[in-house]
Amino acid sequence: MLLETPNVELGWQAKPFTLADPDGKQYSLSELQGPNGLLIAFICNHCPYVQAIADRFVDDAKALQDDGIGVVAINSNDYRYVPDDSPPMMKRFAEHFGFSFPYLVDEDQSVGKTYGAVCTPDFFGFNAEEKLQYRGRLDDARMGDPTNRKTELLDAMRQIALTGTGPEQQWPSMGCSIKWS
């Protein structure tokens, strides 16, 4: 089912969590936070929308990490329902696209529910004080046509790093619904 992210009130405090990657290494919110902010991306492996943006997302994430912004991807899908989203497949997906950031398993889906994630991809950008300043899409590129794209997420996160606040205009992300158990 195709969904768009809803409008949300900005400024709410990031909720603490601890999740593991497919190898079992634990990460907490405080460890993931960069000195200039944090980007949390709810994604999965099987979604064609995630697959279409994965290369661009990885490139933008590396640029953000260079700017002191932490980046993490979280898979909240019920992988018993969608085996392509299982932890071993997550590891392959991350290796294939060259993730420079952790890709974490939200086994009980509590983090996705707490944050109000609805689709993949779903991006949440926080400032250095861990307050939400961005909820939107990666860019304005159409499926399969990333030419002349406007790097909305990258630009927003850089603005957040500099000013502490996100842009006034934000466009919803669009993707596959999260598969809740």
pLDDT in tens, 117-135: 999 999 999 999 999 999 9
139 contacts 149 by C-beta, under 8 angstroms: yes
For residue 101, the Cα-to-chain-centroid distance in whole angstroms is 11
Give how many domains the chain has, as a whole number. 1
What mean pLDDT do residues 156-179 have?
96
CATH number for position 124: 3.40.30.10
Length of the chain, in residues: 181
Give residue-wise pLDDT tens across range 1-48.
Answer: 555 666 778 999 999 999 999 999 999 999 999 999 999 999 999 999
With tokens 């002349």, the residue in question is 148
Give residue-wise pLDDT tens across range 86-121.
Answer: 999 999 999 999 999 999 999 999 999 999 999 999
Quote the pTM value.
0.96
Cα distance between residue 69 and residue 33, in whole Å:
7
- 2-4 sheet: strands from edge to edge: 2-4, 174-177, 119-120
**pLDDT score, position 148:** 79
What mean pLDDT do residues 157-173 have?
96
Q: Which H/E stretch holds residue 73?
A: strand 70-75
Write out the residue range of the structural domain in which residue 12 sits. Answer: 2-177
Average pLDDT, the chain: 94
What mean pLDDT do residues 157-171 have?
96
